[in-house]
Amino acid sequence: MGLLYLGTPLTWDEAKKYADHVRFHGITQFLNTWDRLKDRHGDELLWGDEVEYMVITLDDEEKNATLSLRQTEILAQLNTYVEDICGDQPDKHNSVPKFHPEYGRYMLESTPGSPYSGYLNDVLSVENNMRYRRLLVRKHLRHNEIPLTITSYPRLGVLGQFTEPYSDPAGAKSSHSMFLPEEVTNPHARFPTLTANIRTRRGSKVAINLPLFFDENTPRPFVDPTIPWDRALYTEDDEAKNGAALPDHIYLDAMGFGMGCCCLQLTFQACNISEARRMYDGLIPIGPIMLALTAASPIWRGYLADVDCRWNVIAGSVDDRTEEERGLKPLDSSRFKIPKSRYDSVDLYISTDRTNRPEYNDNTLPYDASIYDRLREHGLDDLLSKHIAHLFIRDPLVIFSETINQDDNTSNDHFENIQSTNWQTLRFKPPPPGSSIGWRVEFRSMEVQMTDFENAAFSIFIVLLSRAILCLHLNFYIPISKVDENMERAQHKAAVQSERFFFRKNIFPQGSSPSSNSSSSGRSTPQKREKRLQNCFGPPPSLDGESLDQPIHEEYAEMTMNEIINGKDAFPGLIGLIYLYLETLELGDEDAQKIERYLDLIRKRANGSLQTPATWIRDFVRSHPEYRFDSVVSREINYDLVKAIDEIERGIRRADSLLPSDYSPIVV
Ligand code: ADP
Ligand code: MG
Ligand code: MG
Ligand code: MG
Ligand code: MG
Ligand code: MG
């Protein structure tokens, strides 16, 4: 989440008066950064993960597992602990993990104390680092509390008690939800304000309808008996019966259902802005692939869903677009018709590389023309100007009266206000003023995994893939509308098994062969004993002669997940590409074996020999003795599920369909 100010947040009616002010100064702030740092070059690979947890309270007598709302206390204790270790030695802070608040009052986020470097030992320390962070969290919980890395809480928003302590949804003054009490939201002013201002700007509650998974005994048609259809407490209460809640669906009506989910995110620092833009583009088509592979959220508000992922729920949960913006009414008081929520997949490839053909950017792209012109006049190129001017069609949602006027030379808060509330699959992060940080790219589509072994495996897979993209000058471009189609497919039940995904067929630079070894690029450091993932690869090989471009529709095909990851015929698969990259490093056996443990998980997920967490969770529910094959995940089933996940993570329960047979909770 963005920075947290202590201050007085404005209601939407007040805040909207400052929207142009925030946008104008936000752009000024960005341009100041641009002027200072556009030519910055030579930054090292630094990178880091963000892991989100839910804290669960177990009641063994009642067989209930509920969300513990003690975030504030737990974070205070964790931070006191960190202070105690570090004392007055500021450099020690770099080695002690960082813990952050999140939207849900039952959530925590952790990051490494300082980013990882490109040294292989550091890359291979990720699992240890994540386990240490989880251990620290565990140590600061009560005896009946556990941290779970689970993407969606199965019983968030059910009738009865699902938080500890219990709170009544009647008091949900920010969201007006029928299901989620005010108390599930982080009490810091930013979060209730964000919730209320999204609802007010939109003109109704958010409305999400997930297709229900119909089991043998699920009534058809399904009209949810747990919705308080006739509640009359808030003006929005009649929305459900007036069409917001669809039959045969699981209806969700509040920001907390989406922003209360956990995910796994990765941030990479690039060598310079142009490599950051290349990495950003290269990872765009990877977003939906990794969403499908990490799928972990098949249960919502106590029901099995026919989808496996959180994505559309979060997109819907912060969809602040007016009816005009959503295209339901002709434009009158809104400025743009906007196809997507501010939380969704990215709409524009931004690299200036020649391989980025204009035809790939085939999504409708509303952008603020005056901001675009201002950026162009300042010397920015077309694509980056469009990228920023597209992000800036959004209004700032939370404004604190104390920070309306800022020094645009030293602050980037107005820029970040808009930037950090565009929650997209990738985020292009400019360097913050007054820091030594370079241009970064954040990869944001993945669902959090139940064990740190899996979270580390996906982190290492993406860092290696990002190296392969840059080093081998890979070309993953397909029309961005096809990436969006993949996002939809990725969320379907068991998508890894049953879906095909659009992917580019020839991913090597034109004219080069798959075996071409690019060890000549970048700086090699043979004198260093420890292997290192480089960060500067330079521009792609120059292409002489005329273009070899094919018609776009011949460049890609629909492939299975197994083909995309493990390859088929001449197509090497993403793991094959990682091996090609690893060859350039000339690793010793020991390092290669350590990496292999992680790649093997990805390989087996993709070929179906290991399950996604979503499939595993769904199977757990459907084989539970209390399950009545009616789609309902009862209190008791949920309790046993939570216990099982915790036991798997601690290595005292086996899950051979989920984890490799040699999985051990002890780090090797
Ligand atoms: P946000 O919530 O804005 O996405 P966080 O601060 O929670 O960001 O997490 C950012 C991640 O980036 C952390 O894992 C952190 O270690 C890592 N990181 C910090 N500095 C750099 C850097 N210069 N380059 C790359 N990653 C970095
Ligand atoms: Mg987070
Ligand atoms: Mg974070
Ligand atoms: Mg942050
Ligand atoms: Mg993040
Ligand atoms: Mg969508």
What are the pLDDT digits (tens) for 86-133? 877 777 777 899 999 999 999 999 999 999 999 999 999 999 999 999
Return the ligand 1 atom nearest residue 49 CA: 14
**ipTM metric:** 0.95
Q: For the residues 425-439, what does the mean pLDDT come to? A: 96
pLDDT of amino acid 538? 80
Count the helix, strand and coil residues of the chain and give each as a percent rounded to the nearest 5.
40, 15, 50
Tell how far the Cα of 291 is from the centroid of ligand 6, in angstroms. 13
Q: Output the residue whose Cα is nearest ligand 1's atom 19.
A: 115
Average of per-residue pLDDT across 357-366: 97
Q: 59 - beta bridge partners? A: 64
Kindly report, residue by residue over 174-207, the tens digit of the pLDDT: 999 999 999 999 999 999 999 999 999 999 999 9
Asked if the model's pLDDT at residue 514 lies above 60, the reply is no
Per-residue pLDDT tens over the stretch 589-636: 999 999 999 999 999 999 999 999 999 999 999 999 999 999 999 999
Closest CA to 146 of 644, 665, 660: 644
d(CA 81, CA 96): 10
Q: Which residue has the higher pLDDT, 304 or 82?
A: 304
| pLDDT higher than 90, residue 365 | yes
Please answer whether residues 555 and 508 qualify as being in contact, where contact means their C-beta atoms are separated by less than 8 angstroms: no
Question: Is the beta carbon of 288 within 6 A of some atom in ligand 1?
Answer: no
The rounded Å distance from CA 578 to ligand 1 centre is 24
Look at residue 561 in the predicted model and tell me its pLDDT: 98
Pocket flag, ligand 1, residue 459 (CB < 6 Å): no
What pLDDT score was predicted for residue 542? 66
Could you tell me which residue, 2 or 51, shows the higher pLDDT?
Answer: 51
State the pLDDT at residue 404: 95
Q: Which band of pLDDT confidence, cut at 50, 70 and 90, is reported for residue 4? A: low
Q: What is the mean pLDDT of residues 461-480?
A: 97
Mean pLDDT of 132-142: 96
| C-alpha to C-alpha distance for 290 and 263, rounded to whole angstroms | 12
pLDDT mean over 252-264: 98
Ligand 1: atom nearest CA of 444 is 4
Write down the pLDDT at residue 525: 47
Q: Point out the ligand 1 atom lying closest to the alpha carbon of residue 100.
A: 7
Minimal-distance CA residue to ligand 1 atom 25: 47
Mutational test site, ligand 1, from 96, 267, 413, max ligand atoms within 8 Å of CB: 267
Q: Determine if the pTM surpasses 0.90.
A: yes
The architecture CATH gives domain 14-517+553-668: 2-Layer Sandwich (3.30)
Q: Span 54-61, mean pLDDT?
A: 98
**Which stretch of 135-139, 374-378, 547-551, 655-659 has the lowest confidence by average pLDDT?**
547-551
Task: Name the residues around ion ligand 2, CB cutoff 5 A.
Answer: 109
Tell me if 213 sits within 8 A of 306, measured CB to CB.
Answer: yes
Domain positions in the chain are 14-517+553-668
432 lines ligand 1 (CB under 6 A): no
Residue 661: pLDDT above 60?
yes
Averaged pLDDT for residues 287-301 = 99
Angle between helices 613-622 and 635-649 (to 10 degrees): 130
The atom of ligand 1 lying closest to the CA of 43 is 23
Mean pLDDT of the chain: 94
3-state SS assignment for residue 111: strand
H/E element, 90: none
Q: What is the pLDDT of residue 517?
A: 46
Closest CA to 388 of 25, 21, 30: 30
- Residue 296: φ, ψ to 5°: -150, 15
- Supply the pLDDT for residue 88: 74
> pLDDT at position 300, please?
99
- Is 440 near ligand 1, meaning CB less than 6 Å away? yes
Q: Is 455 exposed, middle or buried (0-12, 13-18, 19+ CB in 10 A)?
A: buried
CB atoms within 10 A of CB 333: 7
Q: Is the pLDDT of residue 271 over 50?
A: yes
- Mapping DSSP onto H, E and C, the string for 359-417 reads HHCCCCCCCCHHHHHHHHHCCCCHHHHHHHHHHCCCCCCCCEHHHCCCCCCCCCHHHHH
pLDDT of residue 87: 77
Q: What is the mean pLDDT of residues 530-554?
A: 78
